[in-house]
């Protein structure tokens, strides 16, 4: 079994503050981003904080897409975690940046899971020790 997956850590700066504070708008953008990424949306949950800010998750068959917004700073942090090789998470990130009118986006890609070729290799660190993430 190949458990290879891609996890994008998406930083969105200088975004539209009103859009960052709209639970309806953020939900629509994330669901559309999932569709752009060619993944299957199962359900979603979003919450608007007081006085400002939105957090949400779109659960997809391939894993999840999450976001947390700080409208007062024009900033959002999103995670796009997809399994398999058919999903196109970069397209989801680009759609989020466009939808939230972000002027600056930074994406860190993390490959997660174990591929068939890696399973045969011995572990270099004991399982109880944390290892660094490579981008």
Q: Active-site residue numbers?
A: 63, 68, 83
Side-by-side strand order, sheet with 54-60:
41-48, 54-60, 63-70, 75-83, 5-13, 104-112
Cα(91)–Cα(6) distance, integer angstroms = 13
Bridge partners of 106, per DSSP, are 11
Cα(44)–Cα(66) distance, integer angstroms = 10
Cα(49)–Cα(55) distance, integer angstroms = 8
């Amino acid at each position: 079994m190949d458990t290879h997956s891609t996890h994008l850590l998406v930083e969105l700066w200088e975004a539209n503050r009103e859009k960052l504070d709209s639970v309806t708008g953020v939900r629509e953008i994330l669901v559309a981003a999932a569709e752009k990424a060619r993944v299957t949306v199962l359900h979603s949950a979003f919450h608007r904080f007081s006085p400002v800010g939105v957090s949400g998750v779109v659960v997809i068959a391939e894993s999840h897409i999450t976001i947390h917004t700080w409208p007062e700073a024009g900033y959002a942090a999103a995670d796009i975690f997809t399994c398999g090789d058919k999903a196109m998470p970069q397209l989801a990130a680009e759609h989020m940046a466009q939808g939230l009118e972000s002027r600056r986006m930074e994406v860190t890609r993390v490959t997660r899971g174990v591929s068939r070729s890696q399973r045969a290799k011995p572990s270099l660190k004991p399982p109880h020790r944390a290892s660094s993430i490579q981008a």
